[in-house]
Structure 1
Amino acid sequence: MNNFPEPIGRLIDELGQLPGVGPKTAERYAFALLKRRPDDRERLAEAIMEAGGSLTACSTCGNYTESDPCNICSDARRDRGVICVVATEQDLLAVERTREFSGLYHVLGGRLSPAEGLTPRELNVRQLIARLQGSTVREIILAFDHTIEGESTMMYLTRTVSQFNVRVTRLARGLPIGSEVGYADEITLTDALKGRNEIRSGVPVTPIQTPIITEKLST
């Protein structure tokens, strides 16, 4: 049992809620913050509050933005015939950093994972369908992790958008099995974008076993 003063214990608990931060790491972060000067801690707190208060989700792509639509969706120079679908905002930033992609994005808000309660209804699938209806989109790039959840999501999306006359592609195998898009280096992700493969409706996108998601959404 840790005999920390209550304020420190609360700080550790809150830091421990962050992805990838275990109890020991949370303790290290907490004490590192306490050792910072008061004005440093105040600037950090202000930055967190400002980000939480001034940012909203783009009504088109779902990315974080200060204005709606976001600067990517409102950029007339972007290729509006190609949409790169990603799981998270972090994945969007990873693709954008490659400077290889000049189209638009769609942030799904996660990956299908029935075990975690993430079904198509919890993700931005309807919004993607709405963007395709009556549009001139010619290609959808599925930029998802090479994990069971990522593969399942790509299989579901491929079937869902098969009603539209669009080419569906996925990142090439430059990304190892189990890798996450958001943590891929720029060179690897660039190669994966350049060598992306087409997915045909009804054909599995990978030889590994993936759970089948059968839920359908009304359009």
Structure 2
Amino acid sequence: MDFLQYPQPMADLISSLARLPGIGPKTAGRLAFYLLQQPQVSEDLAKAIVVANRDIMKCSICSNFTDRDPCALCQNTQRDQTSLCIVEHPRDVVSLEKTREFKGLYHVLHGVLSPMDGIGPEQLTVNQLLKRLDGIKEVVMALNPTVEGEATSLYLARLLKPLGIKVTRIAHGLPVGGDLEYADEVTIARALEGRRQL
């Protein structure tokens, strides 16, 4: 990207913003101009980033992001201690908690298996998962329905089933308001697999 028309500190700011997911060069430029015109917003944002980087850590039990160890979910004795939901990222825990449907514990892998990208079980939190299975009766796979997510689910299921743990997966299918005409074959197949009696 050519930032010759900008002063170097602004070019560096635009370049840094453009590295964020979902932010292209034009949006990064607009954000940079906004931040420079709103110094209080810039200061607040900078402080929040510094504090988050300093104070947020991975829970030693579930690997979710937290500001205390263990996290509030792992400390909550009211949750079902026999059910464990495996997710890819900490943001997935937030999404599932918003539904108020799952009452068990979580485990965050921080990614999925992807041999092409050099990501194997060692790069994920698989070892921590295997150490916390005492008393777990059901593991729910809530990984994204990608090739890597499916491969990771199958890999983990092969590890867990011999231990006598029931392994299930969340149903994947059509979103509310979705249109069959625009859905791909895999989505439709998953919707059929996850069908329930009315």
TM-score tier after normalising by the smaller chain length: 0.7 to 0.9
Structure 1 contact 85–141 (Cα < 8 Å) conserved: yes
- AA aligned to 1:43 is D
TM-superposition CA deviations, 1:47-84 (whole Å, max 9, x none)? 11111111111000001111110000000101010000
Distance (whole Å) between structure 1 residues aligned to residue 195 and residue 63 of structure 2: 23
Distance (whole Å) between structure 2 residues aligned to residue 58 and residue 85 of structure 1: 14
When normalised by structure 2's length, the TM-score is: 0.84
Note the residue ranges of structure 2 that are not aligned, 5 or more in a row: 176-190
Distance (whole Å) between structure 1 residues aligned to residue 30 and residue 140 of structure 2: 40
- AA aligned to 1:125 is V
Structure 1 contact 170–196 (Cα < 8 Å) conserved: no
Note the residue ranges of structure 1 that are not aligned, 5 or more in a row: 177-191, 198-219
* Max Rg structure: 2
Distance (whole Å) between structure 2 residues aligned to residue 137 and residue 58 of structure 1: 18
In the other structure, the counterpart of 2:17 is 15
When normalised by structure 1's length, the TM-score is: 0.76
TM-superposed CA distance for 1:146, in Å, is 0.9
Structure with the bigger RCO (C-alpha within 8 Å, sep 6+) is 1
In the other structure, the counterpart of 1:103 is 104
Moved over 6 A (4+): none
TM-superposed CA distance for 1:196, in Å, is 9.3
Structure 1 contact 169–196 (Cα < 8 Å) conserved: no
- AA aligned to 1:16 is A
In the other structure, the counterpart of 1:183 is none
1:38-187 counterparts in 2 under 5 A? 38-132=39-133, 135-174=134-173
Identity percentage over the alignment?
Answer: 46
TM-superposed CA distance for 1:175, in Å, is 5.5
Give me the CA root mean square deviation.
1.9
Question: Residues 55 and 112 of structure 1: is their aligned pair in 2 closer, same or farther, counting only changes over 3 Å?
Answer: same
